[in-house]
Amino acid sequence: MGRHPDNDRQAETERRSDSRFNRFEEAIILSAHLVDKLLEPHIRDRDDDGSIRLGADQVLIEDATGVMCALQFEKLGVPETAVPLSVLYVDHNVLQIDERNMDDHRYLQSFSSKYGLVYSRPGNGISHYVHMERFAVPGEVLVGADSHTSMRDDFEVTVPAIDELVAILQRAIGDEGGARMTGGGFGGCVIALLPQERVEAVVEAVRRDYRPPNGKPVMIHACRPAAGHRSTGAPCARSCR
């Protein structure tokens, strides 16, 4: 008896699924190695439980939580920031409906001047892209925030399905990595980083516990770290000048 076309398609789907998992595991291994290389020069101390203390090169602050951050910093009573570069961007609360946003901006500008931060005024652009173009240095450590918690609780731009997936990943990973939403908000995807020896268990936890709203199996995509931008040494063509 010949094989039914649906059986062939199912077999091909299973083969691709297994191949995708192998690439995912390999990507996690490569990512872990890359993270080790990036963090090693910045490690200041190690605890017996494996925790590390890092020295940061840059800090990025935006105005939505910047006032809270600045007020807490002033409570420390220190004369200036200890990080080589701290940049405060006004790129969220830029609508001037009343005086409150303007008052916040004036305070953040004076705070930046007093404590040695670079102040990016309203209209300069979105912090992520401006910082990447003006200040990003390969290999340096940039401190941000616990992004998924703030996106979920402060800005409320996640959705229940994404919150559930992040919670499953974080429970499975424990203190050996992390997970967060990525994308444009109100949905998107989840990205996780974890040690290679935890990959199989974490993937199994997601497949076992997560139920996508559309009823379809959860999709796990893999990516590889690349070398990034570099100079080729070739002269620039007239069209790009």
- In Å, what is the CA distance from 178 to each residue of 1, 23, 42, 174, 175? 50, 20, 19, 8, 7
pLDDT, position 77: 93
Range with the poorest average pLDDT among 113-122, 142-151, 195-204: 142-151
Q: At residue 113, does pLDDT exceed 90?
A: yes
Instruction: Give the whole-angstrom CA distance, residue 183 versus residue 116.
Output: 32
- The pTM of the full predicted model, rounded to 2 decimals, is 0.53
Task: Enumerate domains of the chain plus CATH numbers.
Answer: 8-52+145-209 (3.30.70), 58-136 (3.30.499.10)
Q: Residue 128 class from Cβ within 10 Å (0-12 exposed, 13-18 middle, 19+ buried)? A: middle
d(CA 152, CA 186): 10
